[in-house]
Each structure stands twice: as structure tokens, then as C-alpha cells.
């Protein structure tokens, strides 16, 4: 609906919530014409409708001259501010008077744009300048700072720095009296094993010193950061290290890990030494096709079990893998399980065996025996590593962990994965050629074999997996 105004002058009454003051702004309109009304309020250039500044006594403070709509501003005193500040003749700067009684005073000004009309609504707002006193005797103060420098070394609070695993973490620490004392500061965090700091502290305009901390975290999680001078803790904050983004898809082909070549008379030889007759036969060690193995570790404090848990993300596929422990707990490397899945749409026609107690009684409290379903259900119930979507891996997913370039066992990267459980076969969710069997992977030899679903006597290891 359009409203027509035919008055020569239109007055718009506006009230700003922040000032709770009504302002009537009038502007000329053409005789008999339609005057559009812009609903947006005007504001200062380079600031909000209400500015709060701070400055020192005996200094001059420049005031904005125009609003965002280019309309001139006018300043007047509020609440006896003539005692603390003096407006210049042109009204666009204010002289802050000497600060009496060594306390913070306020220069309160009132501002409007003097041009509010039907097209541009006026502003009417407070402009506040806190006038800080000169520092006390014996304390140093910079020209632009309103804080006095403390005599002791102090560090300002910092927001938690965030980075990814294996990516450079760099952030600035600032405080007072840091310059010359960097060698005395002790910086500690479990996020990084090698912490570096800039050699010299830089002094900024507020008289604060600052220096840069940098390191490369190798584990995801939330870690404490503390800085002390040897006797006093100056800072306690946190560092958040996240898992890196996935750089590939689930169908990425891994390298086999094999880096040597063979001939009819020699094996495990340098591929560069192959004779002409053997070059170009596409041996794995010569071609080196596929993606390199790359993993990241995550540390998780489980609020349900109150345990510190570790899981491993494959940065190529995005799969996240369970790790094993050696503590007789739920994920102990010595436990074994039967294959069991009562869901007919997933089990290939055979649900398997509920098993018996081959997992140290870790599932007995829930009335379950040691089978794959009970184990996966328990991982999801406690939200191991913070997730509730763990499952048995498919055969091709589990094979992707094997490094066939190593001798026994061919398990990739012992920095991230625990030793295989007594070299048992690991079960998968993949049904084998016979519906009564499933694919099982031997982490001792790298052999892919078949496991029996219905056998209560045959037990296998489990390494659970999940994916976003």
C-alpha cells in the first residue's frame, strides 16, 4: 500500500531506543509531490549510533563531522560536562580539561545530524568520552594508553587459539614487562612437543609487550596452555586442535607400501637397479601409484567413562578408526568376538553366533556375550571418542590400513595404531562368497580369508570404524 503526502513540509517523529529521547526531524517536500520515506536510521561515520571513547586529560579529541548520509553533526553538552571538557569554536573537537582528584571523569556530549527529513531520518545520541587520569608516581604510561604499567610481569587473557592437526599454530601473547624477561617464561602445553617463541618482545602503542608462540600440533583435542615466570602462573588458557578436513574420497586408491622390486632371480631390490628387460613392468615399487598414508590422532576425554580415549582419522579417506588398549578394559587388544548381526537386511542370510565370554567380562554387565553387535553397541552407547555411529568396517576399508611394504605385521604406522591383537584375524561386515562366511583380514600376513559366522568357537578381533 502506498501513502501519498501532499503537504509542503513533512515532520517525522523518531525515538531512538538507545537514547530514549524523541526527536522531530522536518524536511521540505515538493508541493503536491510524493515524498519517499527511508526507514533506516542515520549513524556516525566510522562508528555506531552511540560511541564510547577514552582519552587522557589535557588532550584534544577530534569528533566526527558528518553522518553516514553526509549530513552535518552538531554537539552540545550534557549533564554538566562543561566541567570536564570544552568544545572548540567550530564544534568538531573537544579539549579534555585537567583531571581532578585522580579519578575517571566523563565528557558527555549530545549529537544530532541537524538534517533529518523525510528522506534521511535524523540521529540523536550520546557521545561519551571517559577521561582517564595521569598515572601515579613511579608508573609509566604511553601517549595513547589509559592504563598504567604494572611493576610486575603480567599477561593478558587470550581467546583459545584454533588450528588443525599438523598445521602451524601461531598466536600473539601480550602483557606488561615481558621485554627482557622472555627467557624466564615457561610455556607448557600438551598440544605440541616443540614450542617456539619469537626472540624479542615488541612494544606496541599501549606500552604493552608482545611475542609470538608457534608450534605444530600432532594430536586433535583441547589442551591447556600455561605460561609462568617460574614461580607465578601468568596465563592459563586452552588450545583447540581439530582434525583436518578430508582431502579425498572413499574410493581413493592407497599405495601398497611396497617400495622394492623383484626379478626372476632377485627380490627386495632397489627398483632403480632393474635391468632393461624388467623396467616398465608396472611393479608396485616402481610405479608408486595411489595416495600416501596419512593419519591424525584425536584425544577425547569421555564424560561417560571418565577415561582418556584415542582414535585415529585417515586424512585420505576420512574414515576414523578405533584404537586398542592394553588395560583389560572394553577395547583391550586381547579380546575376541564372534560375528553376529540379527538384521536380515544386512547379514547376508546368516545372523551368526552370539558367542561366549572371550572379552574379559567387559560386556557381561549388559547381559551380552562377546559378539560384534554387542561390542559395537557398547562403543556407541558410551560414545567412544565422542561419536555414536561406530560400525564394523567393510573388507576394502580394513585392507586400506595394510602396508605391504613392511615385514610382519603389515600394519601401517605404529605411531598411530596399536599392535594387532595376537595377530588374530580382524572381522569385517562384508559377507564372503558363501553367505555363511564373512571376509576376515590377517594383520600378520596381510592375507584376506573367510571367517565362519555361525561358529561359537571361532573368535576374531574387531577394529571399529566410522565416517562423517
Half-sphere exposure of 117 (CA within 13 A, CB side): 12
Q: Where residue 115 falls among pLDDT bands split at 50, 70, 90?
A: low
Burial grade of 202 (CB within 10 A; 0-12, 13-18, 19 or more): middle
Q: Where residue 357 falls among pLDDT bands split at 50, 70, 90?
A: confident
What average pLDDT does range 17-33 have in this prediction? 34
Nearest C-alpha neighbor of 416 from the set 219, 190, 259: 219
What is the pLDDT at residue 18? 31
- For 187, list phi and psi in degrees, rounded to 5: -105, 130
Cell numbers 587459539 correspond to 161
What average pLDDT does the structure give for the chain?
79
Distance (Å, rounded) from C-alpha 326 to C-alpha 418?
A: 9
Above 70 in pLDDT, residue 251?
Answer: no
Distance (Å, rounded) from C-alpha 140 to C-alpha 269?
A: 71
Percentages helix, strand, coil for the chain (3-state, rounded to 5) are 10, 35, 55
What is the pLDDT at residue 86? 95
91: left (phi over 0), alpha (psi -120 to 50) or beta: left
Summarised one tens digit per residue, pLDDT across range 281-329 is 888 888 887 777 888 889 999 999 999 999 999 888 889 999 999 999 9
CATH class of 154-242: mainly beta
What is the pLDDT at residue 15? 28
Q: Where residue 237 falls among pLDDT bands split at 50, 70, 90?
A: very high
Task: Confirm if 109 and 126 have CB atoms less than 8 A apart.
Answer: yes
Distance (Å, rounded) from C-alpha 183 to C-alpha 179?
A: 10
Above 80 in pLDDT, residue 466?
Answer: yes
Distance (Å, rounded) from C-alpha 173 to C-alpha 190?
A: 18
Task: Confirm if 21 and 13 have CB atoms less than 8 A apart.
Answer: no
Whole-angstrom Cα Rg for the chain: 36
Nearest C-alpha neighbor of 95 from the set 132, 52, 59, 129: 59
What is the pLDDT at residue 367? 65
Above 90 in pLDDT, residue 90?
Answer: yes
Above 90 in pLDDT, residue 389?
Answer: yes
β-bridge mates for residue 380, sequence order:
none
Distance (Å, rounded) from C-alpha 84 to C-alpha 99?
A: 8
What is the pLDDT at residue 409? 63
What is the pLDDT at residue 1? 38
What is the pLDDT at residue 45? 64
What average pLDDT does range 4-31 have in this prediction? 31
Task: Confirm if 225 and 237 have CB atoms less than 8 A apart.
Answer: yes
Distance (Å, rounded) from C-alpha 69 to C-alpha 64?
A: 13
Q: How many residues does the chain have?
A: 468
Task: Confirm if 359 and 336 have CB atoms less than 8 A apart.
Answer: yes
Nearest C-alpha neighbor of 62 from the set 53, 71, 70: 53
Distance (Å, rounded) from C-alpha 203 to C-alpha 207?
A: 6
Task: Confirm if 372 and 384 have CB atoms less than 8 A apart.
Answer: no
Cell numbers given for 135? 598515572
Report percent pLDDT > 70 for the chain.
78
Q: Where residue 135 falls among pLDDT bands split at 50, 70, 90?
A: low
Above 60 in pLDDT, residue 21?
Answer: no
**Other CB atoms within 10 A of residue 235 CB:** 17
What is the pLDDT at residue 33? 44
Sheet holding 437-442, edge to edge: 425-431, 437-442, 448-452
What average pLDDT does range 250-257 have in this prediction? 69
Check residues 39 and 446 and name the one with the higher pLDDT.
Answer: 446
Per-domain boundaries in the chain: 9-132, 154-242, 290-468
What is the pLDDT at residue 101? 67
Nearest C-alpha neighbor of 338 from the set 462, 450, 456: 456
Cell numbers given for 375? 561390542
457: left (phi over 0), alpha (psi -120 to 50) or beta: alpha
Distance (Å, rounded) from C-alpha 127 to C-alpha 200?
A: 40
What kind of architecture, by CATH, is found in domain 9-132?
A: Sandwich (2.60)
**Other CB atoms within 10 A of residue 279 CB:** 12
Q: Does this chain's domain 9-132 share its CATH topology with 154-242?
A: yes
Cell numbers 524536511 correspond to 27
Task: Confirm if 33 and 10 have CB atoms less than 8 A apart.
Answer: no
What is the pLDDT at residue 239? 92
β-bridge mates for residue 438, sequence order:
431, 451
What is the pLDDT at residue 369? 85
Distance (Å, rounded) from C-alpha 402 to C-alpha 167?
A: 26
Distance (Å, rounded) from C-alpha 221 to C-alpha 216?
A: 13
What is the pLDDT at residue 423? 62
What is the pLDDT at residue 72? 84
Cell numbers 583459545 correspond to 160
Amino acid at each position: 500500500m502506498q501513502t501519498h503526502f501532499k503537504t509542503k513540509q513533512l515532520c517525522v517523529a523518531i525515538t531512538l531506543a538507545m537514547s530514549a529521547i524523541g526527536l522531530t526531524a522536518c524536511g521540505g517536500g515538493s508541493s503536491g509531490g510524493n515524498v519517499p520515506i527511508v526507514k533506516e536510521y542515520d549513524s556516525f561515520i566510522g562508528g555506531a549510533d552511540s560511541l564510547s571513547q577514552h582519552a587522557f586529560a589535557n588532550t584534544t579529541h577530534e569528533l566526527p563531522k558528518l553522518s553516514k548520509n553526509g549530513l552535518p553533526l552538531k554537539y552540545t553538552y550534557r549533564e554538566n560536562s562543561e566541567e570536564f571538557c570544552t568544545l572548540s569554536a567550530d564544534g568538531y573537537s573537544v579539549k579534555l580539561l585537567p583531571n581532578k582528584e585522580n579519578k575517571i571523569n566523563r565528557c558527555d556530549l549530545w549529537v544530532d545530524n541537524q538534517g533529518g527529513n523525510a528522506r534521511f531520518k535524523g540521529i540523536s545520541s550520546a557521545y561519551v568520552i571517559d577521561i582517564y587520569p595521569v598515572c601515579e608516581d613511579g608508573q609509566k604510561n604511553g601517549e595513547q594508553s589509559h592504563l598504567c604499567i604494572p611493576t610486575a610481569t603480567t599477561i593478558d587473557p587470550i581467546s583459545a587459539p584454533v588450528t588443525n592437526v599438523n598445521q602451524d599454530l601461531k598466536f600473539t601473547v601480550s602483557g606488561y614487562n615481558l621485554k627482557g624477561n622472555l627467557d624466564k617464561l615457561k610455556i607448557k602445553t600438551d598440544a605440541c612437543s616443540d614450542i617456539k617463541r619469537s626472540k624479542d618482545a615488541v612494544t606496541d602503542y599501549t606500552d604493552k609487550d608482545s611475542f609470538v608462540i608457534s608450534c605444530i600440533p600432532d594430536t586433535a583435542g583441547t589442551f591447556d596452555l600455561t605460561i609462568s615466570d617460574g614461580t607465578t602462573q601468568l596465563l592459563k588458557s586452552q588450545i583447540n586442535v581439530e582434525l583436518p578436513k578430508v582431502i579425498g574420497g572413499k574410493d581413493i586408491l592407497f599405495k601398497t607400501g611396497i617400495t622394492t622390486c623383484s626379478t626372476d632371480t632377485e627380490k627386495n631390490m632397489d627398483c632403480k637397479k632393474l635391468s632393461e628387460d624388467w623396467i616398465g613392468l608396472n611393479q608396485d615399487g616402481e610405479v608408486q601409484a595411489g595416495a600416501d598414508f596419512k593419519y591424525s590422532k584425536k584425544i577425547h576425554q569421555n564424560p561417560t567413562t571418565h577415561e582418556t580415549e584415542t582414535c585415529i582419522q585417515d586424512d585420505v579417506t576420512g574414515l576414523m578408526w578405533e584404537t586398542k588398549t592394553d588395560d583389560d578394559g572394553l577395547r583391550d587388544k586381547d579380546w575376541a568376538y564372534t560375528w553376529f548381526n540379527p538384521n536380515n537386511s544386512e547379514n547376508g542370510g546368516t545372523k551368526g553366533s552370539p558367542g561366549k565370554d572371550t572379552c574379559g567380562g567387559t560386556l557381561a554387565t549388559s547381559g551380552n556375550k562377546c559378539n560384534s553387535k554387542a561390542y559395537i553397541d557398547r562403543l556407541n552407547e558410551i560414545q567412544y571418542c565422542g561419536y555414536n555411529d561406530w560400525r564394523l568396517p567393510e573388507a576394502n576399508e580394513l585392507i586400506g590400513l595394510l602396508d605391504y611394504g613392511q615385514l610382519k605385521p603389515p600394519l601401517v604406522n605404529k605411531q598411530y595404531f596399536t599392535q594387532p591383537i595376537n595377530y588374530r584375524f580382524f572381522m569385517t561386515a562384508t559377507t564372503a562368497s558363501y553367505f555363511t562366511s564373512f571376509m576376515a583380514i590377517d594383520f600378520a600376513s596381510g592375507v584376506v580369508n573367510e571367517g565362519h559366522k555361525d561358529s561359537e568357537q571361532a573368535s576374531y578381533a574387531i577394529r571399529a570404524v566410522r565416517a562423517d
